[in-house]
Chain A
Amino acid sequence: MKTLEELLLEDAQAPLADDFFTARVMGALPARAPRASWWKALLILGSTALGGLLAALFAPSGTSALQGVLDLSASHYLTPSALAVVGTAVTIAIAGAVLAADE
């Protein structure tokens, strides 16, 4: 005589032969997508930084990265140079976040 609890546990614990099931699953696995590597991160962040730098260098007179940093340190946030520096920093941060999410 056994209880329902015992019968349920007996049924649940009865081992099921593999019968090539594992091989079937392994055969159905897709190939892993190639993982992002360090050079990919360097390429994205580097090109973003270079783009920001070039944009700052070739911007109309009065806008330079150095001037932007000086403006920010003097609490002048709305000058063209300060906005260019902030924009570049935000762009690099977004590129970094995209890379982190990809990983």
Chain B
Amino acid sequence: MPPAASATDAELILSVLERDDRRAFAELVNRHQSRVRTVLRRLTKGDFALADDLAQETFVLAWKNLRHFRFEARFSTWIYRIAFNAWQSEARKKHEVLLDDPDAVQIADDSRAELPDAASRIDLERAMATLSDGERAAIAACYYGDLSHEEAAQALGIPLGTVKTHVLRAKAKLRARLTGKDAT
């Protein structure tokens, strides 16, 4: 019997663990693929092929390690952590990813200020690609991964304060890019 679409993530995970139910896992993949692939597309600066390879690796690792999933956490938090690790491993092969050394500069959060009408998701995608790895990872975790700052810090393996600084700095840079006030 195929898993019910109304089944919770926890129920699907139990089906996989208890009955080796591949259809339940397929439902989990189908349910989370969009967000995971979007997060990875932003992290890889729009390299869709690499993002999908990493997303596949993420779900295969989740399958292999599902018995280690702790039910007190959300499945999405757990899967994003795997996705971030996959991205960091891939990025390390090419260059060093610096996630934890932002300058200690106070940045005002003016992200609620309005953007020009012309600002689109395509502009945002381009602007995201100009951020540092740490800034992009923090934005991807907090906005695309829907994680709290604490969950993002845990998923990325960096201090909470660093996540907050990265988010503030990234939003300031994005806003500058999207309003055309970026000097670079």
Contact = CB atoms under 8 A, between A and B. Distances in A.
Interface of A: 1-5, 7-12, 14-16, 18, 21-22, 24-26, 28-30, 32
Interface residues of B, number: 37
Contacts, number: 87
A11 B63 CA distance: 28
A5 B178 CA distance: 12
Interface of B: 20, 22, 25-26, 29-30, 33-35, 37-38, 52, 55-56, 59-60, 63-64, 111-117, 119, 121, 124-125, 139, 143-144, 146, 171, 174-175, 178
A22 B37 CA distance: 11
B33 A22 contact: yes
A-B CB proximity, top 6 nearest? A16-B34, A4-B111, A1-B114, A12-B144, A8-B143, A25-B59
A2 B114 contact: yes
A25 B60 contact: yes
Contacts of A3: 111-115
B25 A2 contact: no
A58 B117 CA distance: 90
The dominant DSSP class at the A interface is helix
A87 to B, nearest CB: 33
A30 to B, nearest CB: 7
Given A12-B144, A16-B37, A22 B26 contact: yes
B111 A11 contact: no
A7 B112 CA distance: 10
